[in-house]
Amino acid sequence: MSQVLENQSAAGHTELKRVMGPKLLLLFIVGDILGTGVYALTGSVAGEVGGAAWAPFLVAFIVATITAFSYLELVTKYPQAAGAALYTHKAFGIHFVTFLVAFTVMCSGITSASTASNAFAGFLRDAFGKKEDWAAGSAPLLVIALGFMLIVALINLRGVGESVKANVVLTLVEVSGLLLVIFIGLYAVTQGKADFSRTMVFDSPSDKSTFFAITAATSLAFFAMVGFEDSVNMAEECKDPIRDFPRMMLTGLGITGVIYVLVSLTAVALVPVGKLADPNEGSALTQVVAAGAPNLPFDKIFPFIGMFAVANSALINMLMASRLLYGMAKQEVLPPVLGKVHPTRQTPWAAILFTTLIAFGLITYVVRANGSKEGASTISLLGGTTALLLLCVFTVVNIALLVLRKDKVAHKHFVAPSILPIIGAITCAFLAGPWARSKAQMEQYEIAGYLLGLGVILWALTWVVNRAVYGKKTFLRDPEDLDIDMDATN
C-alpha cells in the first residue's frame, strides 16, 4: 500500500481506470446495501413493532433516499473518490470536526463487522442444529464470533484485492438468499400456510405510542439501508458518474427497499412474532424458510447463504476501517505507529490489528452482557450502534450540502431539491436521538461514546507529541486522501 501511495505522490496524481458502466454501478450499490442488516435484524425489528415489521424498513428506506439525494449532488459536484470527511472539510474547514467524522465512519465499519460476526455465529448454529446448546450470550457463540473476526483479520493481513466483478458474484449470492425467502412466502400462500393478517398487527413491548415505537424500530432498521454512501468512493472508476450515479443510486435504493419490505412481510406472515424475535429460536430468516417449506431442505441451505452474505459484509467493513485508520495515521492526526505497513504483504498491519482488537472488545462486551441481563440482543445493540453513528454522519453531510451550495463549479451536476437536505438533516438527527430508542437500546450511546472517546484520546496524545517533540501542528493535510480505493491498497 505504501508503495502505491509513493507512486501516486511521484506521479502527482494517478487517475483510476474508468471501468464501471451503469449496470456494474447498480450491482455495486445493491451489493453494498444488501447484507448483514436484513439477514440479521428482521427479528429484532419485528420485536419492536410486532407484525408491522415492514413499516420501519419502509420509513428507513425513505429517510435513506432523502439523504442519498444529498450524496448525489455532492458526488456529481465533486466526482472524485471522496466521502463524508471530505464533504465536511469542504463545508466547514475545521480539521478536528473532519477528523471526528472520519473516525465515526471508521467506528461504524467496526461495529458493522462485529454485528456480522455475531450473525455468522447465529447462522452457524442454525446450520448444525445447536439451537439449545448455543443460547444467546453463551460461550460457544462468543468463541465462534471471535474466531470469525480473527479469520477476517488474517485475510485482511494477507491482502484482498476487491474487484467489481467479484462484487457482482457476491451480490448475486446475497440477492438469491433474500429471493428464496420471498419465493418461499409465495409458495406458502398457495399452501395456505401464510397468515398475512398478522402483518397489520402493531404491538410494542415497551408500551410506546405507535409513532415512537416505529421510530425506535426505524433507528434499528436503518442499519439495513446503509452502504449506499460507500458508492461515492467509486466515482473515479465510473465511465460517466454525473449521468449514471443519480439513476443507479436511486434505482438501487428502490430495489433494496422493495426486497426488504417483501422479506419482512413474508417473515411475519409465516412465523409468529414472538418466535421471530427470540434469538434462541434461531436466526429469523432461517425460521422463515423452515416454516414456509418444511418438506424441503431450504432451512439446511439458507444458513450457509446467510453466513456467506454476512462474511462478505464483515470483510468489506474491516477493510474500510483499517484503511481509514491507516490514512489518519499517515496524516499524523493519530499515532504514527498505526500507519505501519507489512514489508512483504504491503498491508497496513498495525491498523488491522488495532481495529481487530476493538472488534474483539466490542463482541466480548456485548455478548457477555447479553447473556447476563435482560436487554437488547447482541446483534440489535451492535447494528443499532452502527446506525446511530452513521445517522450522525448523515446529519452532518446534509448540513454540509446546504453550506456548499455557495461553492460553484464549472461543470453541470445533479442538484437535489432544496427542501430535501433540510428534511434529511432533521430526520437523521431525530433518529439519532434518545427518543428514537427503546430503553434496551440506550446502551448504544454508551458503546458509541467509548469508541469516539478513544478517538479523541488518540488525537489528543498525537497533538501533544507533535507539539512537544516535533514542534508541528496536528491537522489533516489532505482530507481527500482519507478514502483510498481498495483496489490500490492490496
% of the chain surpassing 90 pLDDT: 30
CATH, domain 19-482, list 3.40.190.10, 3.40.1580.10, 2.60.40.10, 1.20.1740.10? 1.20.1740.10
Q: Confirm if 366 and 375 have CB atoms less than 8 A apart.
A: no
In three-state secondary structure terms, 15 is coil
Please report the pLDDT score of residue 13 as a whole number. 41
Please report the pLDDT score of residue 342 as a whole number. 84
**Cell (9 digits) for 472:** 508541528
Please report the pLDDT score of residue 371 as a whole number. 53
pLDDT at 217 over 80: yes
% of the chain surpassing 70 pLDDT: 85
Integer Cα distance of 136 and 311 in angstroms: 20
Q: Which of 203, 181, 206, 381 is nearest to 285 (CA)?
A: 181
Please report the pLDDT score of residue 164 as a whole number. 52
Residue whose C-alpha cell is 418466535: 275
Binning pLDDT at 50, 70 and 90, where does residue 425 land? Answer: very high
Q: Which of 267, 224, 171 is nearest to 379 (CA)?
A: 224
Binning pLDDT at 50, 70 and 90, where does residue 8 land? Answer: very low
CA dihedral 138, 143, 149, 151 (to 10 degrees): -150
Determine if residue 70 is left, alpha or beta; phi over 0 gives left, psi from -120 to 50 gives alpha, anything else beta.
Answer: alpha
**C-alpha gyration radius of the chain:** 22
**Residue 342 main-chain phi, psi, to 5 deg:** -65, 135
Residue whose C-alpha cell is 439495513: 224
pLDDT at 458 over 80: yes
What average pLDDT does range 107-118 have in this prediction? 91
Other beta carbons within 10 Å of 202: 13
pLDDT at 222 over 70: yes
Binning pLDDT at 50, 70 and 90, where does residue 276 land? Answer: confident
Q: Confirm if 258 and 224 have CB atoms less than 8 A apart.
A: no
What average pLDDT does range 230-236 have in this prediction? 66
Considering 11-25, 26-40, 398-412, the range whose residues carry the highest mean pLDDT is 398-412
pLDDT at 259 over 70: yes
Half-sphere exposure of 441 (CA within 13 A, CB side): 29
Binning pLDDT at 50, 70 and 90, where does residue 135 land? Answer: low
Other beta carbons within 10 Å of 44: 26
Cα-Cα end-to-end distance for the chain: 6
**Residue 18 main-chain phi, psi, to 5 deg:** -85, 95
What average pLDDT does range 102-120 have in this prediction? 91
**Cell (9 digits) for 207:** 408500551
Please report the pLDDT score of residue 9 as a whole number. 38
Binning pLDDT at 50, 70 and 90, where does residue 445 land? Answer: very high
Residue whose C-alpha cell is 508541528: 472
8 vs 346 pLDDT, higher one: 346
What average pLDDT does range 217-236 have in this prediction? 80
Residue whose C-alpha cell is 465536511: 88
Please report the pLDDT score of residue 80 as a whole number. 65
Please report the pLDDT score of residue 175 as a whole number. 85
Please report the pLDDT score of residue 485 as a whole number. 44
Question: Number of H helices and number of E strands within the chain?
Answer: 17, 0
pLDDT at 69 over 70: yes
Integer Cα distance of 137 and 124 in angstroms: 15
pTM confidence score: 0.87
Integer Cα distance of 458 and 97 in angstroms: 15
In three-state secondary structure terms, 366 is helix
pLDDT at 488 over 90: no
Integer Cα distance of 467 and 428 in angstroms: 37
Task: Report which residue type is found at 357.
Answer: L
Other beta carbons within 10 Å of 11: 9
Other beta carbons within 10 Å of 371: 15
Q: What is the pLDDT of residues 318-341, one digit of tens each?
A: 888 888 888 888 888 889 899 888
Integer Cα distance of 57 and 185 in angstroms: 18
Return mean pLDDT, the chain. 82
454 vs 347 pLDDT, higher one: 454
Integer Cα distance of 485 and 104 in angstroms: 19
Residue whose C-alpha cell is 446467510: 306
Please report the pLDDT score of residue 370 as a whole number. 64
Where would I find the H helices in 93-138?
95-127
- Full DSSP string of 23-63: HHHHHHHHHHHSSHHHHHHHHHHHHHHBT-THHHHHHHHHH
Please report the pLDDT score of residue 166 as a whole number. 61
Q: What is the pLDDT of residues 345-384, one digit of tens each?
A: 788 899 999 999 999 999 998 887 765 444 457 778 888 9
